[in-house]
Amino acid sequence: MPARKREFPWFPGVVLAALVLTAVFAAYLAPQSPTEGDITKKLIPPIWMERGDWEHPLGTDRFGRDVLSRIIYGSRISLLVSLIAIGVAGTFGTVLGLISGYRGGLIDVVLMRLTDIALSLPLILIAVVLVAVSEPSFGNVILVIALLLWPRFARQVRGETLAIKQQDFVALAVVAGRSSWWIMSRHIFPNVVPTLLVITTLQVGYVILLEGTLSFLGVGVPPPNPAWGLMIADGRGFLATAWWISLFPGLAMLLIVLAVNLMGDWLRDHLDPKLRQLGSRAPVLDAPGIEPVGRAAGEAPARGAAGGADGG
Amino acid sequence: MLVVDNLKTHFFTRRGIIRAVDGVSFTLHAGETLALVGESGSGKSVTCLSLVRLVPEPAGRIVGGRVLLEGDDLLRKSAAEMRRVRGKQIAMVLQDPMTSLNPALTIGSQVSEVLRLHQGLHGPPLRERVLEALRRLRISAAATRLGHYPHQFSGGMRQRVSSAIALSCAPRLLIADEPTTSLDVTIQAQYLDLLKEVQATAGVAVILVTHDFGIVAANADRVAVMYAGKIVEMGTTLQIFDNPRHPYTQALLRCLPDVGLRDRQLVEIGGQPPDLAQLGPGCPFAPRCPERQPICDESYPPPVLVEDGHEARCWVAAPAGARG
């Protein structure tokens, strides 16, 4: 198993490529409209069951909307929300982490206590409050998720920055007369990028789950958008009779989160400089005792499965 | 050109004040090489860091003295003014070529960075200057090397690349902090010759930190021997080698292996360097000194002029004639 870690992970690669393609070409791929349903065709079961219908391979929901089409369009929401939220949180967290690590002193103390505070916020509660005072919207979902995510980036980047700061080339850049901003952006940041790539990937799965959770609770993406979490929530009342409404979006979520996490694990092994220096032929160290970065997200598939089982 | 006057850099720790640099003074002329010699912890590196004001704060602080570079006191400059001095007037080469280059950037972009900042060059002229800087330090196939990353270079080449960066803006002063320590012996001489050649053509003053007297003999014009944060003896290389007056210098020179004499045993200096946090009023070398006198424990010796340009801080270091 260790020897195979370096090979490109085909399963997650294909799944993620399919996800991106599906999201981009949703309009062409979806057989039906994701939001308009024919109420006379409600609760049609999937194709292989009695009463199944080729028009709706994965069945319809209680408004007669095509489940497959909704899943296809739902991929857009999952992808968009996670990309934007991670983009916002990643940028913010990285900048703060760089400043905190490089400047040190009082700035570091203040920024790190801020991340501590952010990490201790009860996010679901905030999401509920936010929806209570305003309407559920894309903006709110992204805001809440970004609020939860940025400290993770800030912490990780700060740690890396502290290590890189000690290197001679940083001291030499100071001697060369460079400003702090220049050194941070040009000398430290590029060396943080591999780590950043790994945590970003590991967070994607987590964010997709989080968005699903928020939508399921009704504080995320507003209906009638075909968010997977919303679909699972929709089918909750029909589990005994029309289980497909919840099961398929749950499976989709499970598949994507699993793929993203596998990809993240591979990236981490691949980009870890300590492993990279061993050369491609050297045996990869299997360190069971070491808790890798983003373990929280690494556990996500289990939670995803639980979510799917919940729905199904 | 460079005048360092009574420079004091102290570290404030829980154990007390560590006087890492305690009243160091020397002058340096254009094109000259001054070697700073001493054991580990004698304050050589901190002296260098103080010159460019890179003492690790807040523990360390320059508490006194003046550093005049062509008449300008560097210690009085604002951070922004200091930035303009660094790189343009002062450059630095450090010990470890493995970490002195940014692994994420190509050699070309790292060399051009300084030139762009300090000389405002762009486009083809910039590229020309970058190639010239690399060629001057004998980087072969410089044009194709521009796009390479540091890990594609050997240690000796990296050290030459960092030197090319340091020298690219024709600084007035180059601080070389043990530049050959991590190089192969065969590469060491080659590298130092190269450095000397470039120095001669560009008229750069060099402060060479080392603990290798072989390097000192071959490269330095003058030598300053440091012990416990002070310069204990300073003179031309010839004076120091021929007529060392301070017992510490004598001991250091005795530590050198002598190729000619087969049976001579290698000598070591007994005892440990002193704890800089707990220095008494006397000479810090006294506990290890073979010529220790009662007065050595009581007060610190004043500088004694041995001959023109040769000073030693020792109670017994009277000029050769006067000592009888």
Instruction: In whole angstroms, give the CA distance from residue B47 to residue B22.
Output: 9
* Rounded alpha-carbon distances, angstroms, from residue A185 to A179, A188, A193, B56, B62: 10, 6, 11, 21, 29
CA angle A79–A80–A82, rounded 5-degree value = 65
Question: What pLDDT does B292 receive?
Answer: 83
C-beta atoms of B100 and A168 within 8 A: yes
Q: Give the pLDDT band (50/70/90) at residue B258.
A: low
| Average pLDDT estimate for B110-116 | 86
Chain-wide mean pLDDT for chain B?
85
Scanning B1-20 for CB atoms below 8 A from A yields none
Question: What pLDDT does B324 receive?
Answer: 38
* Interface check B45 vs A, CB under 8 A: no
* Interface check B91 vs A, CB under 8 A: yes
Question: What pLDDT does A99 receive?
Answer: 94
* Interface check B105 vs A, CB under 8 A: yes
Instruction: In whole angstroms, give the CA distance from residue B253 to residue B268.
Output: 10
Contacts within 8 Å (CB) and 24+ apart, B290-295: B290/B247, B290/B251, B291/B247, B291/B316
- Closest partner residue to A171 among B54, B91, B165, by Cβ? B54
**Is the entire prediction scored with pTM above 0.80?**
no
Question: What pLDDT does A305 receive?
Answer: 40
State ipTM.
0.78
| Average pLDDT estimate for B284-288 | 86
Q: Which of the residues in chain A have pLDDT under 50?
A: 1-4, 275-312
Question: Which residues on chain A place their C-beta less than 8 Å from a C-beta of chain B?
Answer: 105, 167-169, 171-179, 186-187, 190-191, 193
**Neighboring chain B residues of A105 at a CB cutoff of 8 Å:** 58
Question: What pLDDT does B264 receive?
Answer: 61
**Neighboring chain A residues of B54 at a CB cutoff of 8 Å:** 171, 174-175
CB atoms within 10 A of CB B238: 13
Contacts of A268 (CB under 8 A, 6+ apart): A198, A202, A292, A293, A294
**Neighboring chain B residues of A193 at a CB cutoff of 8 Å:** 104
Question: What pLDDT does B304 receive?
Answer: 85
Instruction: In whole angstroms, give the CA distance from residue A195 to residue A66.
Output: 41
- Closest partner residue to B86 among A169, A175, A193, by Cβ? A175
Percent of chain B past pLDDT 90, that is, above it, reads 11
Whether the per-residue pLDDT at B208 is higher than 70: the answer is: yes
pLDDT tens by residue, B32-68: 999 999 888 888 888 998 988 888 877 888 988 889 9
**Neighboring chain B residues of A177 at a CB cutoff of 8 Å:** 83-88, 114, 117-118
Question: What pLDDT does A290 receive?
Answer: 41
**Neighboring chain B residues of A168 at a CB cutoff of 8 Å:** 94-96, 99-100
C-beta atoms of A168 and B165 within 8 A: no
C-beta atoms of B104 and A193 within 8 A: yes
Number of H helices, E strands in chain B: 11, 12
Question: What pLDDT does A311 receive?
Answer: 38
The count of residues in chain B is 324
Between residues A248 and B1, which one has the greater pLDDT? A248
Question: What pLDDT does A273 receive?
Answer: 56
Residue with tokens 């005795």: B254
C-beta atoms of B92 and A175 within 8 A: yes
Whether the per-residue pLDDT at B323 is higher than 60: the answer is: no
- Provide the sign of the torsion angle of the four alpha carbons A53, A55, A58, A61, taken in this order: negative
Instruction: In whole angstroms, give the CA distance from residue B139 to residue B134.
Output: 5
- Closest partner residue to A175 among B58, B91, B117, by Cβ? B91
CATH number of A8-279+291-311: 1.10.3720.10
Strand B33-37 and strand B222-227: the pairing is: parallel
Q: Per-domain residue ranges for chain A? A: 8-279+291-311
Topology, domain B1-89+171-273+299-324:
Rossmann fold (3.40.50)
CATH 3.40.50.300-classified regions of chain B: 1-89+171-273+299-324
